[in-house]
Structures are given as C-alpha cells and as structure tokens.
Amino acid sequence: LQRRAAPLLRPTTASLRCKRPISLSVALKEHAPIDVHPEVQEALAHRRPVVALETTIVTHGMPYPTNRETALSVESNVRKAGAIPATIGLIEGRVKIGLEPLELERLADVSKNPSVVKLSRRDLGTAIALKKDGGTTCSTTLIFAALAGIKVFSTGGLGGVHRGAESTMDISADLHELTRCPVGLVSAGVKSILDIGRTLEYLETLGVPVVSYGPTDDFPAFYTRRSGFKSPWRIDDPESAARILNTHRQLGMSNGALFAVPIPEEYESVGEELQRAVEQAIKESEANGVSRRGKEATPWLLKRVSELTAGKSLNSNIALIENTATIGGQIAVAYSQLAR
Ligand code: PSU
Ligand code: MN
C-alpha cells in the first residue's frame, strides 16, 4: 500500500503560511475585526495618498476637548496637503482605520469613557477579545498602517528609551515596531521626556533609518528644534522622503523610517522653558514612583508638564503635530506620484 506522507504543516489559509505581515485583504478574509472607512478604502484602492494618524495622543496625551479639536485639525492639514487622513483607533474591540466624528468623540471624552486603554502591540489581542475601546500608540498605528498598505504616518513624538532605562528597562515598543512595518513615521523627534542619545543608539542597532527633515541635521528635541544630537541623514523635501520609502519597497526591506521634523520656529523660544518643566516633572516622577509604573509614566508626565507651564506645552504639542501632519501629507502625495 502506497501512502502519501502527511505534510508536516497543513496551512489552511494564506495567512498561516505568511511570515511577513499579512495584507488587509487577507486579514479581512480571515474576518479580522477591522473596519476601513469607505473614504480610506477608496483612496487605497486607487493608490491615492493616505496618512495614518494615531489616537493615544487623543486618549492619553491631551485633555478633552483640545484632543478632539487637535485630531480634527491634524486631519484637515493632511487633506490640505492633498492626502486622505486615516485616524486609527479601537472601538468596542473593532479596529477602525479612519474614524467617524462620533467615534473620535467617544475616544476623546474620557470622562464618559474612563476604561479606554492605551494600546501597544502586547495589548492588542486581549483588548480586541475583551471588546475594549483604545487609543493606538505609534506601535499599533504602525501595525495597522502596514497592514492596510498606508506608507506614511504622522505623529508628535515617537516613544523611545526612557531616562534611567539602564535600570527600569523602559524602552518603548514603538522602536521595535519600526523594524517590521514598512512605513515612514513623521514626528517632531521622540517624546520630550526620553533619553534622546540612547534612543538614537537603539534605533541604529535596530537598523531603523533616522532622517532629519529640514534645514539642519540636528535631531529635533520635540519642544525645541535642536537636541545637540545629529541624525545620520538629512533631507529637505517630500520627494526625497518618498524615494527613501520607495527604495525600501524595491529592496523588499520590511523596516520603516523615522523622519524627524523640527517644531515650527515660532515655538522655539518657549521650548527652553518647556524642557525645564520636563526635567522637573521627571524628577518628581522618580521621587513618587510613577517613573516605574510602565505605561502610566508618559500620560502622568505630560499632564504634569502642562500644569507646570500653564498649558503652554499643550500649544507647542498641537503646533508640532499639525506641522508633521502637513509634511506627512506632502510625503504621501510625493510617494503616490513615484512611477511604480
Ligand atoms: N508623545 C506625546 N504624547 C503621547 C505619545 C507620544 O507627546 O501620548 C504616545 C504615542 O502614542 C507613543 C506612546 O507611541 O506615547 C509611547 O508610549 P510608551 O512610551 O508607553 O511606549
Ligand atoms: Mn514604556
């Protein structure tokens, strides 16, 4: 009797065979809990420019209703640049790629929705299974941008290596996510509370390109335009950013890139004062133990800095993210115009 050897692995679907991140169409065939906004779907189908936007800045980064207004003005800047915004968030266990105004409102007004979670990669499966609402950090926004085939993602500050990480080991999952999502992340640097030098070292180890966007090769310091650390590369137009992303695509590279855009010049003078408040808030968090409480650290520090500066940090935060939204929109437009 001739018996055929049983295959060692019997993948039933394409996704089980995939080692790389799967595509949106495969995920949807698997009944993944993802809803793509019709406008975003339409743009993606026609390879029109789309910019992904995160929602942790809404749920855990700014007070209501400033958070909602900022999310809307950021979307509007993406549109003015000629691209379609795709604000990503979790509503009752469904991933929304493109939020309706009421969904944004629900994530923004945390007083009515206090159980809304901050979503990093490790939280995703559980939060979806338990039907939670959540704000996507850079890490989870990168995941869904990559899944949907969105090439550009604009935000304020990337997570990174925290001060004292040599003992706390607090290093944001955002950094690793940039190694597996082929997306250009546009930010004003990393969060103001981090160790910039060590974050850049870590990105180098991970092989993530860091590119300053603008007049200097200084890596920006979020509230101020220069950190004293140099980026390995500098560009000053959206076409160059688009060509970098396209080269990665041509080479089959799975990593993303960090485009660091300094805060607009008129916010430079207040930046020094803001950075002093950051230093004070960090000292307080080390004294009261918040610095050792994982994902709570950032929201606490941002709130404290806002208190210490009578809201001036908030104005700067809004300005820098509106700016990265515009530049992200321009990069997405340039990318869509490259011959493919
Ligand atoms: N920068 C801000 N406010 C924020 C964040 C960054 O000014 O709320 C968010 C981003 O979503 C980023 C996340 O991805 O903080 C990183 O958090 P953690 O360090 O816990 O990984
Ligand atoms: Mn952390």
pLDDT tens readout for residues 2-13:
555 555 554 444
pLDDT of residue 38: 97
C-alpha of residue 277 to centroid of ligand 2, in Å: 20
**Catalytic (active-site) positions:** 54, 191
Ligand 1 pocket, residue 317 CB under 6 Å: yes
Strand partners, 34: 95
Both tokens of 123, joined, read 């939280």
pLDDT of residue 9: 52
Amino acid letter for position 329: G
pLDDT of residue 4: 58
Nearest listed ligand to the Cα of residue 118: 1
User: Cis (ω within 30 of 0) for the bond into 65?
Assistant: yes
Given a contact cutoff of 8 angstroms between Cβ atoms, the answer to whether 71 and 59 are in contact is no
Residues with Cβ within 8 Å of residue 6, at least 6 apart in sequence: none
Ligand 1 pocket, residue 142 CB under 6 Å: no
CA of 299, closest atom in ligand 1: 8
pLDDT of residue 16: 45
Q: Which residue has the higher pLDDT, 197 or 7?
A: 197
Question: What are the pLDDT digits (tens) for 291-309?
Answer: 888 888 888 998 999 999 9
Mean pLDDT for the chain overall: 93
Nearest listed ligand to the Cα of residue 194: 1
pLDDT of residue 15: 42
pLDDT band at 17 (very low <50, low <70, confident <90, very high): very low
Closest-CA residue, ligand 1 atom 16, reads 159
What is the pTM assigned to this prediction? 0.93
Residues with Cβ within 8 Å of residue 83, at least 6 apart in sequence: 48, 49, 50, 51, 152, 328, 329, 332, 333
Helix pair 196-206, 173-180: axis angle to 10 deg = 30
C-alpha of residue 101 to centroid of ligand 1, in Å: 22
Ligand 1 pocket, residue 60 CB under 6 Å: yes
Mean pLDDT value of segment 173-201: 96
Q: What is the ipTM of this complex?
A: 0.95
Ligand 1 pocket, residue 54 CB under 6 Å: yes
pLDDT band at 56 (very low <50, low <70, confident <90, very high): very high
Q: Which residue has the tokens 């990669």?
A: 121
Ligand 1 pocket, residue 77 CB under 6 Å: no
CA of 159, closest atom in ligand 1: 16
Q: Could you tell me what percent of the chain has a pLDDT over 70?
A: 93
Nearest listed ligand to the Cα of residue 174: 1
C-alpha of residue 261 to centroid of ligand 2, in Å: 23
Residue 21 in this model has a pLDDT that exceeds 70: no
Q: Which residue has the tokens 């039933």?
A: 12
Ligand 1 pocket, residue 209 CB under 6 Å: no
